[in-house]
Structure 1
Amino acid sequence: MAGIAAAAIGFSTSALADVKAGVDAWTQGDFANAVREWADPAAAGDPDAQFNMAQAYRLGRGVYADLAQAEALYAKAAAQGHVKAADNYGLLLFQRGARQEAMPFVSAAALRGDPRAQYLLGIAHFNGDLVEKDWGRAYALLTLANSTGLPQARGALVQMDEYISLEDRQEAQTLAATLKADADAARARELAAIDLALGVGATRDSSEPSAFLAAGADYTVPTPRPEVVASRNYEMPTRQAVVATSSPAATPALPVSGAKPSGPWKVQLGAFGVPGNAERLWGRLSGRSEIAGYERLLVKSANLTVLSAGGYSTRGEADAACTSLKRSGLDCLVTR
């Protein structure tokens, strides 16, 4: 069965065996022998061997580091449908400045759930650079990248929280959930297609090479760090300065007794991908007359931390507080 499947996709059983032998050598730390095993199958057109050789050239293990050679090998494997090769090819193109050429690969990788690609595509959507400007999609993509622990994504979200409205951030969570589901489904389809091409069932024979081989476990293409700032032809929205006073008529009265208010109405002040931003906002606003003395509420909602002031007795009190805050250029929502 393995021999029939190998012939069907154009590679000999011996070539597949060489690739697997290289994987075993790499796993044992014998990088030079791994490269020797992969060299002939890669030259013969085996996409797994080409991908593994590209990894070796990128890392400089078993061969001298050579980014140009790595990129060429990724490109050859990607042209044959090797998904991981395509993902890494796009990242290398972006890194060396071929951003327009890279973007279709980056976009495809982001849709498959690659956090590095999600980060880059999110930055592009925020700035309207090579793709349409879409702050909701930008925030959703950065939220997904941040959920994997990608450090650059956290820093970008901190900046985006200053510009993207509360409503848009909340809507982005729904989009993020949809994108994640789509990525999971795409990966499942691709892995099923690979197993079908190799002629294997739900469990792969341990003697056969895996679909994605070798150095991926300890290999990360260094991600470029574009700032979340406007490009030259795009102006960031200006934010009205927060002022310390507001109209007395719009300010709800606090309980005379000094007891903490316990009404059912809340004024939602923000929703943040980075919890520390919620704490910082409360520190800035807690002394304002609209919310002073009311309860600080921090609630996790999907990947957001939602900050509210709670305890307003009536909808009218909460509306008055929110209206006053909006006059100072602050976002808020009244909820119960």
Structure 2
Amino acid sequence: MRRISLMTAALVAAAPLQAQSVRAGIEAWGVGQPEKAVAIWRPLAAKGQADAAFNLGQAYKLGRGVPADLAEAQRFYEQAARAGHLEAQTSLGLLLFQNGNRTAALRWLKQAADSGEPRAMLVYGTALFNGDGVPEDRIRAYALVSRSAAQGLAPAKTTLSEMDRLISLEERRKGVALAQQLANAGASTPVSGKAPPAKVITAATGKAAPVVVGAPATGAFRIQLGAFRDGSSAQRLFATLLPRLGGARMTLVPSGTMTRLQAGPYPSRAAAAAACSALKPQPCFPVAAR
């Protein structure tokens, strides 16, 4: 049975008007002062402000304003996710997925998908389609990916086209009907006075960065991202590139006095080359996994 692997995008939105302190941190971040942004968000997160906790998670994941630390990123994402922050639930799910904890990842992604978060609907829908960690349900998968595509998520549109080739017309019709039911249910359930969450830019360039989701669990190729004299430098680079690597996992390969940073796996050299193209201008080339 064919499986689907996908790419999704991290989205950027404006801060709510009432979250001026969080906004001040976002403005500092945007003008190249991540340390100031972190200093603004940290006490707010300590007081339970979900937007601030989410933004701190972003900072730790990217290594901006603080040393890259995925454990800390996960801790702050989880704080915000438990407070109902949809983007935090999705980001936490993706991070757990990348770390191999698929059970917890899918639990958070399902929660965000049930609330209509487009990236979560794409990833969880793909898991349902493949029967990957959850019982296979192609009709619900089609419904979720349809809703994600309807919100403009380009990778969801691509995935929907692939699903169209793999399932029957009747299944597609049922999926569309279910998508409409889910959308209507979401529209009729108001969020109790809760403003949209504030977010930070997800890449050092100041633009939204794509996130590859659902990289294959096995494959004969990886991509090589550099060689370093110490493993910590390799890990810092991997953390910086992580928003654009998604499901690809880090592999550190000793080579004499150097450590090679590789990510993957990918099913073919062509797939690895495509992953490198998405990382430009980062030096990158496909290598055989050994």
TM-score range, shorter chain: 0.5 to 0.7
Q: Determine if contact 2:87/2:117 at 8 Å carries over to the other structure.
A: no
| Structure 1 counterpart of 2:168 | 165
Question: 2:27 and 2:159 mapped to 1: Cα distance?
Answer: 39
Shift of 1:54: 1.0
Flag structure 2 segments of 5+ consecutive residues without an equivalent.
1-18, 217-290
| Structure 2 counterpart of 1:194 | 194
TM-score, normalised with respect to structure 2: 0.58
Task: Indicate how the Cα distance of structure 1 residues 165 and 20 shifts in structure 2: closer, same or farther if over 3 A, else same.
Answer: closer
Q: Determine if contact 2:90/2:119 at 8 Å carries over to the other structure.
A: no
Equivalent pairs, count: 194
After superposition, the C-alpha distances for 1:238-260 in whole angstroms (9 at most, x for unaligned) are xxxxxxxxxxxxxxxxxxxxxxx
Question: 1:127 and 1:19 mapped to 2: Cα distance?
Answer: 39
Question: 2:47 and 2:72 mapped to 1: Cα distance?
Answer: 16
1:39 to 39, 42, 49: 42
Find the structure with the greater CA-based Rg: 1
2:135 to 128, 132, 136: 132
1:79 to 54, 79, 82: 82
Q: Determine if contact 1:33/1:62 at 8 Å carries over to the other structure.
A: yes
Question: 1:103 and 1:77 mapped to 2: Cα distance?
Answer: 17
Q: Determine if contact 2:54/2:80 at 8 Å carries over to the other structure.
A: yes
| Structure 2 counterpart of 1:222 | 211
Task: Indicate how the Cα distance of structure 1 residues 169 and 51 shifts in structure 2: closer, same or farther if over 3 A, else same.
Answer: same
Shift of 1:107: 0.8
Q: Determine if contact 1:144/1:180 at 8 Å carries over to the other structure.
A: yes
Give the structure with the larger strand fraction: 2
Task: Indicate how the Cα distance of structure 1 residues 62 and 185 shifts in structure 2: closer, same or farther if over 3 A, else same.
Answer: farther
Task: Indicate how the Cα distance of structure 1 residues 161 and 48 shifts in structure 2: closer, same or farther if over 3 A, else same.
Answer: closer
AA matched with 2:200: A
Structure with more contact order per residue of length (Cα contacts < 8 Å, sep ≥ 6) = 2
Task: Indicate how the Cα distance of structure 1 residues 131 and 32 shifts in structure 2: closer, same or farther if over 3 A, else same.
Answer: same
Shift of 1:20: 4.4
Question: 1:144 and 1:226 mapped to 2: Cα distance?
Answer: 22
Identity of aligned residues (%): 40
After superposition, the C-alpha distances for 1:79-137 in whole angstroms (9 at most, x for unaligned) are 23333322221221122211111112111111222222111221222222332222111
Secondary structure of 1:61 counterpart: coil
Shift of 1:150: 3.3
Question: 2:116 and 2:212 mapped to 1: Cα distance?
Answer: 15
Compute the RMSD of aligned alpha carbons: 2.7
Shift of 1:45: 3.8
